[in-house]
Amino acid sequence: MRVQVVIIGGGPSGLLLGQLLHNAGIDAVVLERKTREYVLGRIRAGVLERGLVKLMNDAGVADRLKQESLTHHGTVITRNDDFFDVSFSNFVDAPVTVYGQTELTRDLYDARESAGAVTLFNVSDVVITDLKGKAPTVTCKQGGEAITIHCDYVAGCDGFHGVSRQHIPESVRQEYEKVYPFGWLGVLSETPPVHEELIYASSDRGFALCSMRNASLARYYVQCDINDRVDNWTDQQFWDELKKRIPAAFADVLETGPSIEKSIAPLRSFVCEPMQWGRLFLCGDAAHIVPPTGAKGLNTAASDVHYLFEALKLRYKEDDETALNQYSAKALSRVWKVERFSWWMTSLLHRFPEHSAFDQKIQSAEIDFLKRSDAAQASMAINYVGLPY
């Protein structure tokens, strides 16, 4: 098989890149180690920055997003029983969009299938060779059959545990990581959201988040011990704990119900430098991870896709490799700013085991400063709706 671009990873970033390339007349194949059903079964964030919404429009796959998404012009921050609203509209001429990542991924798969673009599922043993030459080769297996793909470039969109990053030599690759001493216990329930906006709650008992996927599907989280297990929590225990962490004004009107999905996610910050090696380019979780506070994971992957797509388009339309050579530096400049924001929100709202009484007072003062300072709220709003590409 011969294509111009091999995309490793059939999650939203790989699919979005593939759709943009297809629309630009650039031939690409997507390799996915799982099935389509498995990918669509993963529950992920649903807050989309303006940049990602624009990319979906550019890719021609935003019809359902426009019809079914929710538009948010602000968010609520709470500290024990006190709460206040941070209005994006006061500081930024853009909202955020709430639309489940699962639905976004489904839209991209449907578009890829309608276009007749090639996606190989259940792929294993992926190996990339000749990355420093002019014609890389990707070998893999599907159903026991060996497959060889010749290409010009490889996009590694295969996540933190994927194979792409490992093809950058250890002597070249530098990795930065911060592992947080807690996780998020998340529950998905077929109940109306407790509030029209997301609620980020800081309390003496720990962090909580009240989110949603749509008007009848809510997503809630509570901070938990890093070694905790889902089996330790009944639905009733979860709801009781959530109510203790959010202001009474919200707890009193919270509608509860059976969980249809329950999981614990660890929190980490991670960055790999560089994000390219020869003709390999990393996108999304393959290159960087952020804690979910602020919902930047998928959105930062989208900015990578934007930079890589524009660079590939310039290469194939004008035979200009300048942007490809600058991809890593350009992407990382934005990545580190997003890492800072996600770290800041996580530090602002969570209880850390090592926090002293002094640390807790400083944290409360920081939240109070955010409540009373337009400058602080402007900074949060600018970062939350998404830094420009």
- CATH number where 228 lies: 3.30.9.10
Q: Looking at the structure, tell me whether residues 171 and 187 fall in a common domain.
A: no
Please tell me the distance from the alpha carbon of residue 161 to that of residue 13, in angstroms, as a whole number.
Answer: 15
Residue 14 lies inside a defined structural domain of this protein: yes
Q: Are residues 292 and 369 located together in one domain of the fold?
A: no
Do residues 172 and 115 share a domain? yes
Mapping DSSP onto H, E and C, the string for 230-274 reads HHHCCHHHHHHHHHHHCCHHHHCCCCCCCEEEEEEEEEEEEEEEC
Residue 17 lies in a domain: yes
pLDDT at position 301 is 98
The answer to whether residue 123 sits within a structural domain is yes
CA 296 to chain centre: 5
Q: Are residues 104 and 43 in the same domain?
A: yes
Are 196 and 244 part of one and the same domain?
yes
Please give the model's pTM, rounded to 2 decimal places. 0.96
Whether residues 54 and 198 share a domain: the answer is: no
Q: Are β-strands 47-48 and 96-98 bridged in parallel, bridged antiparallel, or unpaired?
A: antiparallel
Q: What is the pLDDT of residue 295?
A: 92
Confirm whether 85 is domain-assigned. Answer: no
User: Is 72 in the same domain as 136?
Assistant: yes
CATH code for the domain in which residue 288 is found: 3.50.50.60
pLDDT tens digits in sequence order for the chain, 389 residues long: 999 999 999 999 999 999 999 999 999 999 999 999 999 987 677 899 999 999 999 999 999 999 999 999 999 999 999 999 999 999 999 999 999 899 999 999 999 999 999 999 999 999 999 999 999 999 999 998 999 999 999 999 999 999 999 999 999 999 999 999 999 999 999 999 999 999 999 999 999 999 998 889 999 999 999 999 999 999 999 999 999 999 999 999 999 999 999 999 999 999 999 999 999 999 999 999 999 999 999 999 999 999 999 999 999 999 999 999 999 999 999 999 999 999 999 999 999 999 999 999 999 999 999 999 999 999 999 999 999 99
Residue 165 belongs to a domain: yes
Q: Are residues 144 and 42 in the same domain?
A: yes
CB 121 within 8 A of CB 8: no
Catalytically active residues, by annotation: 72, 200, 292, 296, 384
Are 288 and 328 part of one and the same domain?
A: yes
- 375 domain residue, yes or no: yes
How many domains, the chain? Answer: 2
Residues 367 and 256 placed together within one structural domain of the fold: yes
Hey, what's the torsion of the CAs at 377, 381, 387, 388, to 10 degrees?
Answer: -110
What backbone torsions phi and psi does residue 152 show, to the nearest 5 degrees?
-95, -40
Length of the chain counted residue by residue: 389
| Domain presence at residue 86 | no
In this structure, the answer to whether residues 196 and 212 fall within a common structural domain is: yes
Q: Does 87 map to a domain? A: no
Residue 309, domain extent: 5-76+94-176+268-345
35 and 133 in a single domain? The answer is: yes
Residue 106, token pair as written in the block: 């489904």
Region class of 9: left (phi > 0), else alpha (psi between -120 and 50), else beta: left
